A and B are shown apart, each in its own frame.
Chain A
Amino acid sequence: MLTATGVVAGYGEHTVLRSVDLTVTPGRITGLQGPSGSGKSTLARVVALLHPRTAGTVTVDGRSVTGSGYLAPAELRRRIGMVFQSPRAATDPRWTLRQVIAEPLGAARRSATRQRVAELAEQFQLTDDLLDRYPHQVSDGQLQRACLARAVALRPAYLVCDEATAMLDPSTTATIAQLVRGLADAGTGVLAVSHDRALLTAWADHVLDLHDLHADARTSWES
């Protein structure tokens, strides 16, 4: 399991998360909902080990993680993949989709990169023609599929999707949701973050409201 316990995090003086608990279970899609500006993305980045916390712990399959970003152990960071809202902002415009997908494999010094990229291309419906194109030559949906392939290239146990469909049309959203559902069915624990409750109700196995995950909200709710 991927868990966050008593997480406090924010930006300088500005605290966004005040003691938040969250669990992501393998094989399930956990929906995280809340209005704009409520701290959903901050929590997503904390559990993906990309954002520092000022208090609290994050554990990956029972191992407590110290630090975040490059200070967190690489083998734990690689247990968690992440997909962001804007595929355009998340890809290098000078790289073909093939290079985008292969990047984590190269960074982790994996062998048989070509074979893994071919597997991923098939899984995420990216044809050879698409793999040789640059980001500006493909649609947002095609680029987001490549970002999804990149996020799971190293077979992470967990996947965090932060508004991964917010910029996409309904059909492309449904496609991405189906692909992520396939990953969950194969055992990946997914955290799907969105402000769209209708989307999460259809997509996730259960939906949590960020407000209810704060310790102070839990106390008032329990009392």
Chain B
Amino acid sequence: MTAAGAVPGAPPVLSIRGLSVQLGLLDGRWVHAVSDLDMDLPAGTVTLLAGESGCGKSVLASALIGLLPPTARVRGQVGLDGPDPLDLLAADDDVLATRVRGRRVGLVPQSAGTALTPTRTVGALLSEAVTTLGGAVPAADLLREVWLDPDGVADLYPHQLSGGMAHRVLLALALAGQPDVLLCDEPTAGLDPENAAHVAGLLAAQARTGRAVLLISHDIAACAPVADRVAVMVSSRVVEVGPATDVLDRPWHDYPQALWNSLPERGFRPVPGDPPPLTDLPDDCAWHRRAGGACSGVLTLEPVAPDHWVSCGRGPVGVGC
């Protein structure tokens, strides 16, 4: 049997198995940010990870590359494929810093306004990243790769960039070390629809060059058109993952359905109930406790089709194993 969340055919560049992340608070409580997560990021595909704010999406990205605070407890395996396979959770910080971050796994951080050094020009920032990471592609070509004109942009300081340009510069920086995996945290936040579609298109272009792209976003309108696969997360768990068209248009699980129904063009109805705080998750299904509805209590993903996985017993009777 293939493991939960696995994709047949395409070799996963990154395969996440049984990942749990807990963050310690000063008062002794624990934030259960990610629980028993299984997911593959195959080469050449864009995987959209959707879910409400505070469900654990961003913590997942930080956990994959060892950027969690020292109080964090992490369990599971994150296999990074390639000539030099590595379990990212077992690797020590020196290995992550010198061989993984920026070189094999690139991160496009959430806040374009604060992620760029304000006193350096775009060209200087990029050249420094290329030199540090030993990248083969010069800064000017990286700018062209994100559809920016080096002559117009290299001499600008971060405050002189529009929101859309700043997001594209962050993507160029993430590409400086030519990583196999791109983790993008809300890369379209705060952009108008035209700019958001532009950035999403750039990420799709990166996937077509063979990279595995994880697109963490609640901007479904901008990101859905470029997604090959969609994973939906609620209260620290992924409850459905599969081909984009199936999960977006015909989800098995009732949470993705409720999330899509909250979009302006799909009914504009808020998801029922309030998410419980991640410090206080029940042992059984937090979502079905919050919203009601039938739940088998099976919180691990079960297959409903070759590349389509659902939890809570929400698949068709007899298909799950």
Interface contacts beyond A171-B262, A199-B264: sample of 8 additional A-B pairs, CB < 8 Å, sorted by A: A36-B195, A140-B53, A170-B218, A174-B262, A174-B270, A178-B270, A202-B264, A203-B268
- Interface residue ranges of B271-290 to A (CB < 8 Å): 271
Whether the Cβ atoms of B53 and A35 lie closer than 8 Å is no
Whether the Cβ atoms of B193 and A195 lie closer than 8 Å is yes
Q: How many whole Å from B63's CB to the nearest CB in chain A?
A: 20
Residues of A within 8 A of B163 (CB): 36
- Measured between alpha carbons, how far is A161 from B102 in the docked complex, in Å? 39
Residues of B within 8 A of A197 (CB): 193
Q: How many whole Å from A156's CB to the nearest CB in chain B?
A: 24
Knowing A35-B194, A36-B163, A195-B192 are in contact, say whether A171-B264 is a contact too (CB < 8 A).
Answer: no
Knowing A139-B53, A172-B270 are in contact, say whether A166-B221 is a contact too (CB < 8 A).
Answer: no
Residues of A within 8 A of B96 (CB): none
Whether the Cβ atoms of B53 and A173 lie closer than 8 Å is no
Knowing A36-B163, A198-B221, A202-B268 are in contact, say whether A171-B190 is a contact too (CB < 8 A).
Answer: no
Q: How many whole Å from A46's CB to the nearest CB in chain B?
A: 21
Count A interface residues, CB 8 Å: 26
Whether the Cβ atoms of B190 and A166 lie closer than 8 Å is yes
Knowing A174-B268, A198-B264 are in contact, say whether A36-B192 is a contact too (CB < 8 A).
Answer: yes
Q: How many whole Å from A81's CB to the nearest CB in chain B?
A: 22
Residues of A within 8 A of B192 (CB): 35-36, 195-196
Knowing A139-B53, A171-B271, A178-B270 are in contact, say whether A36-B262 is a contact too (CB < 8 A).
Answer: no
Residue A201, interface by CB 8 Å: yes
Which B residues form the contact surface with A (CB < 8 A)? 51-54, 162-164, 189-195, 218, 220-221, 258-259, 262-265, 268-271
Residues of A within 8 A of B52 (CB): 169-172
Which A residues form the contact surface with B (CB < 8 A)? 35-37, 139-141, 166-175, 177-178, 195-199, 201-203
Residues of B within 8 A of A199 (CB): 264
Knowing A174-B268, A202-B264 are in contact, say whether A139-B54 is a contact too (CB < 8 A).
Answer: yes
- Measured between alpha carbons, how far is A15 from B60 in the docked complex, in Å? 45
Residues of B within 8 A of A178 (CB): 270
Q: How many whole Å from B20's CB to the nearest CB in chain A?
A: 22
Q: How many whole Å from A31's CB to the nearest CB in chain B?
A: 11
Residues of A within 8 A of B220 (CB): 170
- Measured between alpha carbons, how far is A167 from B191 in the docked complex, in Å? 10
- Measured between alpha carbons, how far is A35 from B270 in the docked complex, in Å? 26
Partner among B191, B218, B259 whose Cβ is within 8 Å of the Cβ of A36: B191
